Amino acid sequence: MENSSPRMTGGTREATVNSSPAVASNAEGEEIEVLESTDVLPLAPEDQWKSLFDKYDPENSGFISTERFRDLLATHGSELDPHKLEVLLALADGNADGKICYQDFVNLMSNKRSNSFRRAILQGSRQLKGCSLKDEAGLGLSQRLVRHVAYETLPREVDRKWYFDSYTYCPPPWLILAITIAEVAVFMYYGFQLERLVLQVSSPSFLKSPLPYHPQLRAQAWRYLTYIFMHTGIEHLSLNMAMQLLVGVPLEMVHGALRIGLVYMCGVLAGSLAVSVTDMTAPVVGSSGGVYALVSAHLANVVMNWSGMKCQFKLFRMAMALVCMSVEFGRAVWLRFYPPAFPPCPNPSFVAHLGGVVVGLTLGVVVLQNYEQRLQEQSLFWIFFCVYTLFVLCAVFWNVFAYSLLDVRLPPPP
């Protein structure tokens, strides 16, 4: 059975037909027959725009001229969201070679971004028109929150508008909130059990929990992560929780739970492994490794994009964040060298903070700087990720062999 619809040859695209054809091929793969179906299925929105694109691309080349693209927008622009139409116009004006790629068009219509798409906008002869986010009036409370987060975390206006138009609170920023709630729940449980909220670490039963990292129990691998749910006292929990919520939740709203969870957990693991390598006799508690990874990555991103960041009082707020980090780190250093309540076991180490900072300034910065791009396409991300993986492997071998080879005198198990 024959069909008049053109077929795909070389790198060209197969034209769509409204009859939803079924494609069959013989065993040798030499011929492809297109069989017309009697049942007509409704077109998806992407198929409708694809058929429009094909009308302006009769050669099936995958490109149309910017003039034809403007004609398409002039005819069907009323069917688009106004902000999305502005981005498409910017794409047309910013393309120096006079052609629009079908893939760039699909990326926008499916809410995806690419390097070439962003370059086309940023190198365009005109920027996005319309009022900036700060000037938009009549916004509801949820929209104001999204606008505030956009100015807190993103340095480019085109990215802020893109985020503002596409964010839907689905899914909500659940990861950081869930971790924080779990930390508070665990702290309250042990607070009632130990009958103290301040300096819980001074209780003889504090380290008997299955959660904190202890050098004598380093073979229990889960402790390298679960130590984040234990804190030395309410002063420790309060500082970590404040920084975690104020920085982590906005970052998760913009970059998603997967990316922020990656940075957070890498900081947590790096913190406990750093302690096991450099402060071999000390236990570890607190979420400072993950918190410092997020905060240091965000502060570094603000500094590297200082002129583009439009958050209010950014110098003062950065100074306050550094003060909070310094106070928390100073408290940890003081506690580490303070005479322990139950020698010979020392107080928890402060080195986990430094491990989190290193992760934030390397892997975290790469994650936050590539809001609109896939991380797997960034060579710098893979470089830092490979370095991080190498560190983890070296630390694991260190934990397996170094303690016995160096004859380290460890404190007794709790």
Same domain, 93 and 223: no
- pLDDT (average), residues 148-170: 84
Q: Has residue 111 got a pLDDT over 60?
A: no
Q: Has residue 25 got a pLDDT over 60?
A: no
Model pLDDT, residue 88: 67
Q: Has residue 383 got a pLDDT over 90?
A: yes
Cα separation, 209 vs 59, in Å, equals 70
Model pLDDT, residue 73: 74
Model pLDDT, residue 110: 54
Query: What confidence category does residue 155 fall into, taking pLDDT thresholds of 50, 70 and 90?
Result: confident
* Nearest alpha carbon to residue 393 among 257, 273, 221: 273
Same domain, 238 and 380: yes
Model pLDDT, residue 163: 84
Cβ contact 192:148 at 8 Å: no
For residue 158, being part of any structural domain is answered with no
Same domain, 71 and 200: no
Model pLDDT, residue 372: 67
- The CATH number for 113's domain is 1.10.238.10
For residue 21, being part of any structural domain is answered with no
Q: Has residue 90 got a pLDDT over 70?
A: no
Same domain, 185 and 102: no
- The CATH number for 187's domain is 1.20.1540.10
For residue 5, being part of any structural domain is answered with no
Q: Residue 409 corresponds to which tokens in the numbers above?
A: 């005198």
Domain boundary among 124, 142, 166: 124
Same domain, 252 and 393: yes
- Chain centroid to CA 297: 11
Query: What confidence category does residue 350 fall into, taking pLDDT thresholds of 50, 70 and 90?
Result: very high
Same domain, 203 and 98: no
Same domain, 307 and 249: yes
User: Which residues, in sequence order, are CB contacts of 253 under 8 Å at separation 6+?
Assistant: 146, 149, 167, 173
Domain boundary among 109, 124, 139: 124
331-342 residue pLDDT tens? 999 999 998 877
Active-site residues: which are they?
A: 288, 353
Same domain, 192 and 111: no
Q: Has residue 119 got a pLDDT over 70?
A: no
Same domain, 280 and 379: yes
303 is in which domain, residue-wise? 174-406
Query: What confidence category does residue 264 fall into, taking pLDDT thresholds of 50, 70 and 90?
Result: very high
Query: What confidence category does residue 77 fall into, taking pLDDT thresholds of 50, 70 and 90?
Result: low
236-251 residue pLDDT tens? 999 999 999 999 999 9
User: Which residues, in sequence order, are CB contacts of 35 under 8 Å at separation 6+?
Assistant: 1, 3, 21, 22, 23, 24
Q: Report the chain's mean pLDDT, rounded to a whole number.
A: 78
Same domain, 213 and 358: yes
Q: Is the pTM of this model over 0.85?
A: no
For residue 138, being part of any structural domain is answered with no
Between residues 202 and 119, the one the model is more confident about: 202
Cβ contact 284:227 at 8 Å: yes
Q: Has residue 24 got a pLDDT over 90?
A: no
Same domain, 198 and 97: no
Number of domains in the chain: 2
For residue 142, being part of any structural domain is answered with no
Cα separation, 145 vs 387, in Å, equals 37
